[in-house]
Amino acid sequence: MSDYIEFTNEFGHRIQMSREDYEKKIIPHNLELYWDDREKLRQFAMELVRDRFPKQAAIAADRLLELYGPIESALNFRAVVHMHAGEFDQAKTLLLTCLDRFPASGHAHTNLAKIYAMEGDREKAFATLEAGLFKDPNQENGLELYVESFLAMNRREELFERLEQLGQREGAWRPQLIMGRLYLQDENLLKAMQMYKEAIERSRGEEAVVIAVTGELGQAGYLYQLIQIAEQYWSPEFRFPYTGFNYAHALIQTDQREKAAAVLQAMRQHVAEAYQPMVEQFLSRLSEDLAAQHTEAGQEAQPAGEPVKKTWWKFWK
pLDDT score at 307: 41
The whole-angstrom separation of Cα 213 and Cα 230 is 9
CA 213 to chain CA centroid, Å, is 11
Nearest alpha-carbon partner for 209 in 251, 173, 172: 173
pLDDT score at 317: 25
Q: Count Cα atoms within 13 angstroms, Cβ side, for 85.
A: 20
Confidence of residue 298 (pLDDT cuts 50, 70, 90): low
In the chain the first and final C-alpha atoms are separated, in Å, by 45
> Could you tell me the residue ranges of all domains in the chain?
137-204
Look at residue 314 and tell me whether its pLDDT is greater than 70.
no
pLDDT score at 299: 52
Confidence of residue 67 (pLDDT cuts 50, 70, 90): very high
The whole-angstrom separation of Cα 143 and Cα 91 is 21
pLDDT score at 15: 86
Q: Are 113 and 100 in contact (CB under 8 A)?
A: no
| pLDDT top residue among 103 and 294 | 103
pLDDT score at 7: 85
The whole-angstrom separation of Cα 203 and Cα 215 is 17
Q: What is the mean pLDDT of residues 295-299?
A: 57
Q: What is the mean pLDDT of residues 143-153?
A: 95
How many residues does this entry show for the chain?
317
Average the pLDDT over each of 87-91, 141-145, 286-290 and give the range with the smallest value: 286-290
Look at residue 269 and tell me whether its pLDDT is greater than 50.
yes
pLDDT score at 13: 81
Q: How many CB atoms lie within 10 A of CB 81?
A: 27
Look at residue 88 and tell me whether its pLDDT is greater than 90.
yes
Look at residue 11 and tell me whether its pLDDT is greater than 80.
no
Which pTM value belongs to this model? 0.83
Confidence of residue 308 (pLDDT cuts 50, 70, 90): very low
| 255 exposure class (CB count in 10 Å sphere: 0-12, 13-18, 19+) | exposed
pLDDT score at 316: 29
